[in-house]
Amino acid sequence: MRFNQFSYIPLSIQEAEKELRELGFSVSLEKSAKANLEDFLRKCFFQYEDRDIPLANWLADFDTDLLTFFQSDKALTLEVFYMVALQLLDFIPHVDFEEVNTFIEKTAFPIAFQEEEFLLNLHQLLATRQKTGMTLIDKLLSLGLLPADNHYHYFNGKSLASFDTSQIIREVVYVETGLDSDQDGKKDLIRVHILRPQTDQALPTTLTASPYHQGTNPVANDKKMHKMEGLLSSKPAHKIEVEVKPIPQVAYSHSQAPQGPASETFTHIANYSLNDYLLARGFANIYVSGLGTLASEGFMTSGDYQQVNAFRAVIDWLNGRAVAYTSPKRSTQVLADWTSGKVVTTGISYLGTMSNALATTAVDGLEVIIAEAGISSWYDYYRENGLVSSPGGYPGEDLDVLTEYTYSRNLLGGEYLRSNQTYQAFLRQMSQDLDRDKGDYSQFWQDRNYVSHAKEVKAQVILTHGSQDWNVKPLHAYQFFKALPSNIDKHLFFHNGMHVYMNNWQSIDFRESMNALLTQKLLGQANGFQLPRVIWQDNSQEQVWQRLEDFGGSHYRTLDLGHGQAIIENHYQEEDFERYAKDFNIFKAQLFKGKANQITIDLTLEEDLLVNGRPRLKLRLKSSRAKGLLSAQVLDFGLKKRYKDVPSTKEARGIDNGRNYVRENCLELPFVETPYRVISKAVLNLQNRQGLLSIDDVQADQWMTIQLDLQPSIYRLNKGNQLRLVLYTTDFEHTIRDNSDYQLTLDLRQSQLLLPYD
């Protein structure tokens, strides 16, 4: 393990003493450091009747147990403090370490021993993560250090787990959205699941907007899946025009129905463990699936502002501006009289997408979004540079397929009977509007582009994204981050994983950082917490996270691609084509080994370089036909240690989110020897070489100059590292599989790879 501590808030020694004493530690500025350490430890062992027993079983050094040490006149030294601190953080002498100082240096232990200000050491130690993934204070609270009294308690600017999760109120309400997406003459209701502690405190809320939470329809999804094999269309030259429309504003109806408490309840719903963590710390949890989902009304409009405004209605209800009812009969309305109205949105993928979208509405009450691997423009999820481009791992999926998958309203037989015929007509129109034949940008996609409205955002924005996320690609975080207004606080956690959560990783105190931020923004505690603009997982070192000022550099290092000409053949023998189409992973393996139809160019770095932003290709090429597509990937090539893209378990059920509440595994990305790592990639329809809104003719055998910006990344390269640039046509994971007989010719002498840096 290596420590990376971003959540600790420095404070004065007097404040440290006050906070420690409020937790029941009988420390004092008048006592010696050694006496304070003994009192501190005896409190940590509060579960023992005879606290001499654990002291006798722990070490002060490799020759002395702690009980003997405290009974002696030995001085408290740096080595003794570190030995004790490591044991408190679940590290075991002779198992995890043999030499204290070496281990402290190896793990980048964040606390510097200060005998004269020792209470600061003890204070920070409580806020430091154990090997199992919890901070020491969270571990002590999970064991019962403080009573679960359903009132707020704070330590180091963070809310503590003092709310009783064994007595949670679980209730369901139906929020009226002000929309009629299914055109049935009624304002659509959406079902809302609420979990909140039993308390008289006004609670802030975590809102997770997810069409997946109440179930999905994989059967309809599979039936709707599109065939990837076909011919790349030759498009007539023209300019595309779209309009950036204002976000639609929604008016809510006033209800004359009598008021009453929620009457429907539930036992379980698919949850997110960060929400569980916050629930125990006084944040209500709300899960809402939205339009067209199980027990809600309306159609699944998939990414447009009807869907977004339906989720917004929940925030408006929490702030008294919209109406909710006890049931779809709308006979009794329910007030959100338990909440402060302050909201943070959470969740990954579609959930993070709705966080991005909700932020652009600038709805009052939305204070913070935590958007993890969220889409910022639906075109860039299902299309790229004039091509249909399936998200990584899902060839053949498109927005109409996802609509079928998430339209869980049809899982209720009565709803299917009443609305499916109208819904299928709606779905056919969507399939026509998304236009798989051409892959072009259009008003349909513009209406699902949140980057166009990013300038409206008022909430504080937290983004997380993985460099190896080829599902929701890094461009989504990059372009949204860059488009946000300069006067708001925005932050990015950029890791080396794929499409994964990072709140339960061993090496980064993400959840504690979010606690500090939300305690400040939603609970009104002036804790002085400041989060760096960009926190980046250094790909060159195990469990190391670095601070950066921004995502995207303004300078480029140019690498020439060589001399002469090289040819990419598009056509494959039938046997190879069918094999690659059947399993795109076989194609990827062959591609990275240089055995597909491709140009492979190996380049050696002549100096260290931190790539930050979008690599760019400047190419001179020609196609043997009046059309063509180009795919490109940049690899860090050669055997060395790199991160795997999926985390593995470090400690099974090591994290307690409250008091024996929703325990989860402590995870981490393994750092292992691999032959290569993809840094960036992109695909391009050659007819879109002048831009997304310009369709130009391709003249057969006529040279063209193109500029292609690849997916953004932050990636450290060292002098002597080898880059492998792979250029090819069909990508069997992402693009149309056109096996027609044409070739691209590249003029290497007039082609370059440009790597961005600060």
Give the CATH number for residue 741: 2.60.120.260
Nearest to 300 by CA among 382, 405, 218: 405
For 42-96, write each residue's pLDDT tens digit. Answer: 999 999 999 999 999 999 999 999 999 999 999 999 999 999 999 999 999 999 9
- pLDDT recorded at residue 576: 98
- pLDDT recorded at residue 705: 97
Does residue 411 belong to any structural domain of this protein? yes
Nearest to 217 by CA among 423, 381, 29: 423
Last residue of a domain, one of 532, 548, 564: 548
Q: Do both 123 and 214 map to the same domain?
A: no
3-state SS track over 652-697: EEEECCCCCCCCEEEEECCEEEEEEEEEEEEEEEHHHCCCCCEECC
Last residue of a domain, one of 116, 149, 182: 149
- Kindly name the residue from 159, 233, 296, 349 that is annotated as catalytic: 349
Q: Do both 145 and 174 map to the same domain?
A: no
Give the CATH number for residue 288: 3.40.50.1820
Q: Do both 527 and 563 map to the same domain?
A: no
Q: Residue 670 CA to chain centroid, in angstroms?
A: 19
| Distance separating the N- and C-terminal Cα atoms of the chain | 30
Q: Do both 199 and 329 map to the same domain?
A: yes
- pLDDT recorded at residue 204: 98
- pLDDT recorded at residue 390: 97
Q: Which residues, in sequence order, are bridge partners of residue 611?
A: 715
Active site residue 469: yes
Q: How many CB atoms lie within 10 A of CB 214?
A: 23
96-103: long-range contacts at Cβ-Cβ below 8 A with a sequence spacing of 24 or more? 96/131, 100/61
Does residue 246 belong to any structural domain of this protein? no
Q: Do both 187 and 133 map to the same domain?
A: no
Domain that residue 21 falls in: 13-149
* Matching residue, tokens 């750092």: 671
Q: What is the largest CA-CA distance in the chain?
A: 90
Active site residue 513: no
Residue 472 tokens read as 């929701």
- Kindly name the residue from 469, 509, 645, 656 that is annotated as catalytic: 469
Contacts of 453 (CB under 8 A, 6+ apart): 244, 247, 360
Nearest to 197 by CA among 169, 173, 172: 169
Q: Do both 534 and 598 map to the same domain?
A: no
Does residue 190 belong to any structural domain of this protein? yes
688 φ/ψ angles, rounded to the nearest 5 degrees: -105, 25
Does residue 434 belong to any structural domain of this protein? yes
Last residue of a domain, one of 90, 116, 149: 149
For 555-572, write each residue's pLDDT tens digit. Answer: 999 999 999 999 999 999
What span, in angstroms and rounded, lies between the C-alpha atoms of 592 and 602?
Answer: 12
Does residue 247 belong to any structural domain of this protein? no
Q: Which residues, in sequence order, are bridge partners of residue 129?
A: 135
Does residue 597 belong to any structural domain of this protein? yes
Q: With a cut of 50, which residues of the chain have pLDDT below it?
A: none
pTM score: 0.98
Q: How many CB atoms lie within 10 A of CB 748?
A: 18
Active site residue 213: no
Q: Do both 185 and 272 map to the same domain?
A: yes
Q: Do both 541 and 559 map to the same domain?
A: no
- pLDDT recorded at residue 68: 98
Number of domains comprising the chain: 3
Q: Do both 369 and 490 map to the same domain?
A: yes
Query: In terms of C-beta density within 10 A (0-12 exposed, 13-18 middle, 19 or more buried), how is residue 536 classed?
Result: buried
DSSP character string of 173-225: EEEE-S--TT-SSSPPEEEEEEEE-S-SSPEEEEEEE-TTTT---HHHHHHHP
Q: Do both 628 and 512 map to the same domain?
A: no
- Kindly name the residue from 499, 507, 680, 747 that is annotated as catalytic: 499
Q: Do both 142 and 176 map to the same domain?
A: no
Contacts of 751 (CB under 8 A, 6+ apart): 560, 561, 617, 618, 619, 620, 621
Does residue 721 belong to any structural domain of this protein? yes
What span, in angstroms and rounded, lies between the C-alpha atoms of 316 and 31?
Answer: 53
Contacts of 300 (CB under 8 A, 6+ apart): 211, 290, 291, 292, 293, 307, 403, 406, 407, 409
Q: Do both 471 and 343 map to the same domain?
A: yes
What span, in angstroms and rounded, lies between the C-alpha atoms of 717 and 539?
Answer: 9
Does residue 478 belong to any structural domain of this protein? yes
